[in-house]
Chains A and B, each alone.
Chain A
Amino acid sequence: MSINFNYWQARIGKPLIFALCLLPFLLLSFRLLNNQLGANPIEVFTRSNGEWGLRFLLITLSITPLKNILKQSWPMQYRRMLGLFAFFYVFIHLSSYLVLDQFFDWQEIWADIIKRPYITIGMSAFVLLIPLAVTSNRYMMKRLGRNWLRLHKLVYLIAILAVVHFFLLVKADFYWPTVYAVLLGLLFTFRLRKYCSLPLGK
């Protein structure tokens, strides 16, 4: 039974999830190239990829609670891929800002990084994601041993920075940043409950 399940996962589950994760990027790119992102396509492309980066961070963080709730280990099989997609979307978001939005205006970009808290924070979140992406392979996991887990706890800080970044760039309407903050709060609560060893249900 478990052999069949693994087979299904490797042959169908993973490619399927991979394709689904890539879909937002493909759709956004297609619409950008075909001038279907409205009057200010660069703004929509940059912002949408950023939102997908945040969504994938939260999805990645929901794997462990999901595993605990289902009492099954298979969700863990997808965690690395989802985490790398979070990095992918944040990378596209940043590239879109640097290339499409600022068009390599380094003076302006540097001024943004040091003067604008939302850019400083967003950039920090990206920089902190790099070591996580680099050490996401099996080799680095083995090499880092217990430190791997310590290092990857950075994801909590990154998620907080990402939500703060969203809050700081919004003009008056805080609806969506609040939604993400609440979701992140829920994901943290799950973990706190576990660490405080409060029984779940029983």
Chain B
Amino acid sequence: MFNAVPATCLEPVDAASASWPAAPTSGATNPAHARDVMSRNEAALTDLLRHPGIWRRRSAPAATIATQPSGHAALDTLLPGGGWPQGALCELLVEHDGLGECSLLLPTLAALTQARRRVVLVAPPFIAYAPALAAAGIDLRQLVQLDATGNDTHWSIEQCLRSGCCGAVLGWLPRTDYRELRRLQLAAETGGTLGFVFRPLAAADSASPSALRLRIGTVQGEPRLELLKCRGRVGGMVGMRLRA
């Protein structure tokens, strides 16, 4: 009898009971009918909870997301899906230069360039040193540097992310705001591109639409990486040492 109830039945109970042929007119007083209504509500709820946008803590693991392995085993276990989220913006909030924040990306960039995907560096603060990049296994022919200033930096990063023809886009944004980052996040989603944005640590307190936010700072002179925000992550460790 329960099988006869449509699983997607979400209309108001009164209207449904009115069209119920066997139901007596005073439905609420009949305990059998009350059970019916409850079971139908439960079915509707189960159906609702099956929606991909809803995830419950106790249910099966969250839907898998496309990722790009970071090349660091410790970092891959921290990140959901085992790597950098594809088609999303990652924010790296860096306390000082020289903590190993860029080397974190080198294995990914090497893998991408060797797969002949283009990597774009937008407005780097110093010279990205070609011998070091080559030594890390990056195919320099796939690497493009863009010199931009001011608003052009945002625009360039957005264009590169949105186009979908770049494997990864690295941008250095000393000054930016929520609105601009939101644009970049949407552009990365549109293009399905890995986006990395380097920002000063002072920006860690402000809200951000990025899918992933990493804090790279020092604890007692020891560089550490901490997850400030991570879409789709469930518990577990939030930090790791940067240098082995």
A and B assemble together: no
Name B's A-contacting residues (CB within 8 A). Answer: none
